[in-house]
Structure 1
Amino acid sequence: MKALTSFFDRMVQRYLPDAFLFAIILTFVVYLLGVFFTDSGPIQMIEHWGTGFWDLLEFAMQMSLVVVTGYILASTPVVKRFLEKLSTLAKTPSQAVMLVTFVALIACLINYGFGLVVGALFAIHVARRVPTVDYRILIASAYSAFIVWHGGFSASIPLTIATPGHFLEDTMGLIPVVQTLFSPFNIFVVVVLVITLPFFNRYLLKSTENTDKKVDNTALRPPEDDDELVESKATTPAEKLENSQIPSLIIGVMGLAFVIYHFVNSGFDLNINIVNFIFLFLGIILHRTPRRFLDSVGKGVKNAGGIIIQFPFYAGIMGMMVASGLSDQMSLFFVNIATDYTLPFLSFISAGLVNFFVPSGGGQWAVQGPIMIDAALQLDADVAKTTMAIAWGDAWTNMIQPFWALPALAIAGLKVRDIMGFCVMILLFSFIPITIGLLVF
């Protein structure tokens, strides 16, 4: 394991470009595949790319706010004290890695956006407590928890097919979450990963000890305490208003009132918008004054640059994949060799492949759902399991697709090559319980 971990880490450090360049290279690859393997010509592929380029603007804004509002909330005195208190449970590097992995796993099961932010922010506090831990593996451990998101409460595909009016309802009907999220297959995979992943990440840490390559955490922009916000003495009515707690308290109470209204009327609907809403208004209240809140916003916005500039490129890639028919070809290849027993497993593999080019759960379901569900009905395969196989395929290759790592990396101050070698190992490990669940249950 030490040799394999070292190999992937060396390869990634040497050959994996920055996440932005990765998106550009992926754009070139998809463009050439479309030209040579579909009916779309060079000009048509350019058209598909440009037409789809802005299709993820809403999602890009949501993920930018995940980072910014998460930073705002985490920088409040109350939350900082809580995370610092929780981080004291870790005394050694091994305990640090296991604790970060477990906390991030629970957070990702609750909500994927919540988990991405909390995992990275908590890892920073733990790194302060245990400065001898390999910071790269600590952040990789926080991100590894994202593997379970599509088996948790914010899973977009199973929640979609349980909602009346979804676009495949006429074909497959409504499938309640008891057949997907609470199925024996999904429960098995989630439980196994929650129990074993902290130990696996601990072994990743152990496998890098006593190696020739020493990791200098100080070279990775070690986590530092934010400068305390010093409030200058207010001398004008405008400055007095900026440093007053009254505006923050009033608007904060209004925001929390809406949160209560939302849950009363919609149940436990913890979507990405409501998570951002909660983070935002808790941050306003806990920072106490508009001035302190805005100073925190100014620092948090710096972390969202990569997301803002890279998500449109992935939208362009998705546009080429869908409009040219490349995604259909990939899915149909696996459908043509499937049986009723192997279809869920092959759906998982194909979803993992498509996820490289369409790294969005909802977008991937729109692309693959009609093909895979039609195949499941024709082969008399388990429709619910086939659906969850697509969901887990989407989550699986997120481990080596920089798209979703961007928020965590922005918060941690790392580059994608710093963690991706370890994420390859996590990808290989997680393949085992997911496959067992698909083929046994």
Structure 2
Amino acid sequence: MVGAISRFFTNIVNKYLPDPLVFAILLTILTFAMGITMTPNSPLDMVNMWGKGFWNLLAFAMQMALVLVTGHALASSGPVKRAMTSLASVAKTPAQGVMLVGFASAVACVINWGFGLVVGAMFAREVARRIPKSDYRLLIATAYMGFLSWHGGLSASVPLVAATAGNPMEKMVGLIPISQTIFTPYNIFITVGLIIAVPLMARMMLPKEDEIVAIDPALLKEEASVAKVLGPDATWAEKLEESRILAWVVGLFCVVYLGAYFSQKGFDVNINTVNLMFLAAGILLHKTPMAYARAISAAAKGTAGILIQFPFYAGIQIMMEHSGLGGIITNWFVNVATAETFPVMAFFSSALINFAVPSGGGHWVVQGPFVMPAAQALGADLGKAAMAIAYGEAWMNMAQPFWALPALAIAGLGVRDIMGYCVTALIFSGIIFVVGLHFF
């Protein structure tokens, strides 16, 4: 049944889902139209919101581009490639391959979402090389499906922000410690359930051997070595460029800083610390500054989608937030909820908002002022209400191509290649989220 559903959605997606950039433009138009018809704002008001917000994600876009290029460069180093090859060799059949990728990606995303997103796609490519009869599209889709688990893990933005002094909701509902969000029975049930379910769903979506779509071998081609051997007539400048000492100095700076940071902040793994860890490990494993620069150059070509699409989503997010449209949509759900049904209703409202605001932190800003006071008034669990916002964002990522861009850039695929599988995962993983929120 799961395989038939995935084939159905794959056919639908191939016919009707546009490129992610066109998808973002269509969402911009839809949000604009809803803003002028459902709120008191004029067309000029909405356009002004869009224009003022268009560049709001520049820092985040740079962070995501660095996640991609530093992760790609790290994975292309000799030691990491050998480690992935060794782990990939555990799988002997296409079914074992997709299950291994799903499990590894889901676990990695629990540790850190940026780490899991990049390493999952890299590992999927390695499994595809090891098992030639694998369906490459499904392997990459499975790597992205592992992203379902991230908002219940150690880098979950909503519960971490909710527990941090000075966050926008503190004056309304106070701080919500992670003991009431991440380390709760319902979150453990949902997160462990997803880690188990992702590999199983991928296994059931595996196409028959005669239905596997052939993939261009160039996508799986081993990347050329970035190491350079200097000849006896090398200039002083060339020797400096290939100096291992300089690489070790940079690595030492990173290690000392990270050691001091974690000793002061505890295990605060965020996107910046992940990027710095990737950079330090990458330059040390590539051994010289220019070898690392060549690895970064090879990875940078995959950042085009991030650079052009993130500004559109920044504009959409500001229109949704400043027009009040996000609050209107959220209230459609929470106004009909009871204390018992509130978490599930907040979950579905978050999922709907995610099409326009595909960001955990953005959800807390857009939905928090409506969801959290409503939860407090109804006597609902505040921690569970916060996690419902988080889960809805993570769940609907399976139908929103925003976060798939880094994985697709690494894989060399398009969104239509994987989204049919991801929508199928959306349907079945939704059961886990709803059961965890309602019955635990």
Question: What is the aligned partner in structure 1 of residue 403 from structure 2?
Answer: 404
For residues 8 and 332 of structure 1, the distance between their equivalents in structure 2, rounded to whole angstroms, comes to 30
Q: Counterpart of 1:339 in 2: which secondary structure? A: coil
Question: What is the aligned partner in structure 1 of residue 338 from structure 2?
Answer: 339
- The reply on whether 1:231 has 2:232 as its aligned counterpart is no
For residues 235 and 209 of structure 2, the distance between their equivalents in structure 1, rounded to whole angstroms, comes to 60
Question: What is the aligned partner in structure 1 of residue 16 from structure 2?
Answer: 15
Question: What is the aligned partner in structure 2 of residue 264 from structure 1?
Answer: 263
For residues 173 and 44 of structure 1, the distance between their equivalents in structure 2, rounded to whole angstroms, comes to 33
- The reply on whether 1:62 has 2:63 as its aligned counterpart is yes
For residues 53 and 165 of structure 2, the distance between their equivalents in structure 1, rounded to whole angstroms, comes to 28
- Provide Cα deviations, 1:106-162, integer angstroms capped at 9, x if missing partner: 110000000000100011111100111100000000000100100000001111111
Question: What is the aligned partner in structure 2 of residue 317 from structure 1?
Answer: 316
Q: Counterpart of 1:403 in 2: which secondary structure? A: helix
For residues 417 and 388 of structure 2, the distance between their equivalents in structure 1, rounded to whole angstroms, comes to 29
Amino acid at match of 1:231: V
For residues 110 and 95 of structure 1, the distance between their equivalents in structure 2, rounded to whole angstroms, comes to 23
- The reply on whether 1:425 has 2:397 as its aligned counterpart is no
Q: Map 1:90-169 to 2 at 5 A.
A: 90-169=91-170
For residues 246 and 190 of structure 1, the distance between their equivalents in structure 2, rounded to whole angstroms, comes to 43
- Provide Cα deviations, 1:213-267, integer angstroms capped at 9, x if missing partner: 5411227x53110112343436221111111211111121111111111111111
Amino acid at match of 2:309: Q
User: How far apart are 1:210 and its partner, in Å?
Assistant: 5.4
Question: What is the aligned partner in structure 1 of residue 51 from structure 2?
Answer: 50
RMSD: 1.2
- The reply on whether 1:394 has 2:393 as its aligned counterpart is yes
Amino acid at match of 1:286: L
User: How far apart are 1:417 and its partner, in Å?
Assistant: 0.6
Q: Counterpart of 2:205 in 1: which secondary structure? A: helix
Question: What is the aligned partner in structure 1 of residue 214 from structure 2?
Answer: 216
User: Contact conserved, 2:197 with 2:429, CA < 8 A, in 1?
Assistant: no
For residues 390 and 6 of structure 2, the distance between their equivalents in structure 1, rounded to whole angstroms, comes to 27
Question: What is the aligned partner in structure 2 of residue 181 from structure 1?
Answer: 182
For residues 11 and 284 of structure 2, the distance between their equivalents in structure 1, rounded to whole angstroms, comes to 46
Q: Counterpart of 1:396 in 2: which secondary structure? A: helix
Q: Map 1:291-306 to 2 at 5 A.
A: 291-306=290-305
Amino acid at match of 1:93: P
For residues 121 and 131 of structure 2, the distance between their equivalents in structure 1, rounded to whole angstroms, comes to 15
For residues 194 and 78 of structure 2, the distance between their equivalents in structure 1, rounded to whole angstroms, comes to 33
User: How far apart are 1:391 and its partner, in Å?
Assistant: 0.7
- Provide Cα deviations, 1:308-347, integer angstroms capped at 9, x if missing partner: 1110010011111112111111011112111111111100
- The reply on whether 1:35 has 2:36 as its aligned counterpart is yes
- Provide Cα deviations, 1:370-393, integer angstroms capped at 9, x if missing partner: 111110111111111111111100
For residues 197 and 243 of structure 1, the distance between their equivalents in structure 2, rounded to whole angstroms, comes to 43
User: How far apart are 1:9 and its partner, in Å?
Assistant: 0.4
- Provide Cα deviations, 1:363-411, integer angstroms capped at 9, x if missing partner: 1101101111110111111111111111100100011101111111111
User: Contact conserved, 2:317 with 2:356, CA < 8 A, in 1?
Assistant: yes
For residues 212 and 220 of structure 2, the distance between their equivalents in structure 1, rounded to whole angstroms, comes to 19
For residues 422 and 41 of structure 1, the distance between their equivalents in structure 2, rounded to whole angstroms, comes to 40
For residues 194 and 231 of structure 1, the distance between their equivalents in structure 2, rounded to whole angstroms, comes to 44
Question: What is the aligned partner in structure 1 of residue 81 from structure 2?
Answer: 80
TM-score (norm 1): 0.97
For residues 7 and 376 of structure 2, the distance between their equivalents in structure 1, rounded to whole angstroms, comes to 45
- Provide Cα deviations, 1:258-308, integer angstroms capped at 9, x if missing partner: 111111111111111000001011111111111211111110111111101
For residues 421 and 234 of structure 2, the distance between their equivalents in structure 1, rounded to whole angstroms, comes to 53
For residues 223 and 62 of structure 1, the distance between their equivalents in structure 2, rounded to whole angstroms, comes to 26
TM-score (norm 2): 0.97
Amino acid at match of 1:37: M
Question: What is the aligned partner in structure 2 of residue 349 from structure 1?
Answer: 348
Question: What is the aligned partner in structure 2 of residue 253 from structure 1?
Answer: 252
Question: What is the aligned partner in structure 2 of residue 274 from structure 1?
Answer: 273
Q: Counterpart of 1:138 in 2: which secondary structure? A: helix
For residues 382 and 192 of structure 1, the distance between their equivalents in structure 2, rounded to whole angstroms, comes to 21
**Structure 1: segments with no counterpart, 5+ residues:** none
